[in-house]
Amino acid sequence: MAKQVADVSARGTGQVTWLPGFVLLSAIWGSSFVLIRVAVDAGVAPLWVALARCLFGAAALCGVCAVQRASMPRDLRTWGHAAVVGLLLNAAPFTLFAYGETHVSSVLAGVWNATTPLTTLVFVLLLVPQENPTVRRMIGLLIGFGGVLVVLGVWHGVGGGVLVGSLACLGATTCYGAGFAYTRRFFSGRTESAAALTTMQLTCATAQLALGAVLFGSVPEWPGVTAVGSLVLLGAVGTGLAFLLNLRVIRAAGSTIASTVTYVTPLWSTALGAILLAEPVGWNTVLGGALVIAGVLFARSAR
C-alpha cells in the first residue's frame, strides 16, 4: 500500500512539474500564427521571418544564460546535435510555415500544425524505443486530432489554391516530428541546463538561416513598426522562451506527450480570434476543446 501511495504521489508530482509549462507553451505557440501572418502580410519574406525568430530568440536566451551563469558546452558532439535539432525544430519548419502562410490562412496553418504528434509517433518508433507508442497513447492522439478537426469545422471544406501552402505546412510538421524524437533521443538528456542547450539550438539555427539569407535572400525593406514588433515578440517569447519550455516538457513528459501541445494551440488561436477580432465561437469550438483535452489526458494517463 505504501508503495502504491508513493507511486501515485510521484506521478502527481511529475504532472505538476510539466503541466504548467505545457499550458503556457500552448498559449505562446497558439498566438504565433497571428504574429507570422502580420509579418508576411507586411512583405517580410519567409526566410527572413524565420531568421528574425531565431535571432531574437537566441538573444533572449543569451540573457537567460547570463542571469543563470550557464556556460555553453565546448564539446563538438553536443554542438553537432544542437545543429541537427536547430535545423529540424527551427530553421526548416519556421521557413516552411512562414511560406505556407503566404498561401493559406493562419487558421489552416494551425490545423496542419496539429498533425505534429502523428509525425512524431513515426520518428519515435525509429529513434526512441523506450517511448513505446502504446495503443492507449495512439488512441489518445487520435481523439485529440479529432478534437482539432471539430474545433476548426473542417467539414466546411478547404478552398482552392491552398495545395502548395498545405504541403509546406505538412513539411514543417514532419520536421517537428523528427525534431521532437531526435531531441529526446540525443539532446534533452544531456547534463547541461535547458537554457544552455536551447541557446545552442537557436544559435545554430540562426547561423543556418543567416547563411541561407546570404545565398538565397535579398535584403528586406523596412516593414513597419507593427511587423518588426511582431517579429521581436515572435522571436523572444514565441521562440526563445517557448523552446526553453519545450525542452523542459520533453525532459519531464517525453517527446510524444510534448508534441501534443500542438493539439491545444488551436484553442488559444480561436480564443484570441474571438477576443481580438470578434470572431464567433460556435458549438464545435466547445466540443472540440473538450475532445482535445480528453485526448491529451488519455494519452498521458497510466490507466
Q: 24-63 pLDDT, tens per residue? A: 888 898 888 888 988 998 999 999 999 999 999 999 999 9
Res 222: pLDDT:
87
Full 3-state SS string of the chain: CHHHHHHHHHHHHHHHHHHHHHHHHHHHHHHHHHHHHHHHHCCCCHHHHHHHHHHHHHHHHHHHHHHHCCCCCCCHHHHHHHHHHHHHHHHHHHHHHHHHCCCCCHHHHHHHHCCHHHHHHHHHHHHCCCCCCCHHHHHHHHHHHHHHHHHHCHHHCCCCCCHHHHHHHHHHHHHHHHHHHHHHHHHCCCCCCHHHHHHHHHHHHHHHHHHHHHHHCCCCCCCCHHHHHHHHHHHHHHHHHHHHHHHHHHHHHCHHHHHCHHHHHHHHHHHHHHHHCCCCCCHHHHHHHHHHHHHHHHHHCCC
Set of cell numbers at residue 43: 512583405
Mean predicted confidence (pLDDT) in 135-150 = 80
Mean predicted confidence (pLDDT) in 186-193 = 80
d(CA 166, CA 148): 16
Set of cell numbers at residue 134: 502504446
Domain extent listing, the chain: 18-124+159-254
Res 13: pLDDT:
45
Mean predicted confidence (pLDDT) in 194-209 = 93
